[in-house]
Amino acid sequence: MDAAALAAYPMLFVGIFGAVVVSFLWLRDARIFYRTGYDTYRKRAYYGVLFTALAWFGCVLCGMPDQVFYFLGIGLVLLALYLQSRMKKDNVWKGDESGWKRFIGSAPRRVGVWPKPEDNREMKK
């Protein structure tokens, strides 16, 4: 292996870690939307699909042997992280939650957000 290939090897792990973080944030936003029903988290969950795809594409580029591709790949992963952090979101936390509950997106459920299965049966009649 030449020196450029050895220098790109750690960049691949940085790209993988960034793509995993983007994927986690997308799934966390989807979970918060499911629990609360806020429109801003629905939008973040929808756009999270695109940002996750962008990050994983950047991760694939990090694995290419050419030096230009792994810089471009890291740039795409960082762009996905930046775009995901710039989106507006509502405050769903009361302030008494633990750090772990915030980390996994365990927002308090809003009552009446999703219809119950028995309500769906009545609407079909």
**pLDDT at residue 8, as a whole number:** 61
Q: Which segments of the chain have a pLDDT < 70? A: 1-8, 111-125
Nearest Cα neighbor of 102 from 19, 18, 28, 27 is 28
**pLDDT at residue 66, as a whole number:** 79
Nearest Cα neighbor of 16 from 104, 77, 71, 85 is 77
Rg (CA), the chain: 19
CA 1, CA 26: separation in Å to the nearest integer?
37
Residues in the chain: 125
CA 77, CA 17: separation in Å to the nearest integer?
9
**pLDDT at residue 109, as a whole number:** 75
Q: What is the pLDDT of residues 83-111, one digit of tens each?
A: 998 988 888 878 777 888 778 787 777 76
Distance of CA 63 to the CA centre of its chain: 21
**pLDDT at residue 97, as a whole number:** 78
According to DSSP, residue 91 is labeled -
**pLDDT at residue 7, as a whole number:** 62
CA 55, CA 19: separation in Å to the nearest integer?
5
Backbone angles phi, psi at 53, to 5 degrees: -65, -40
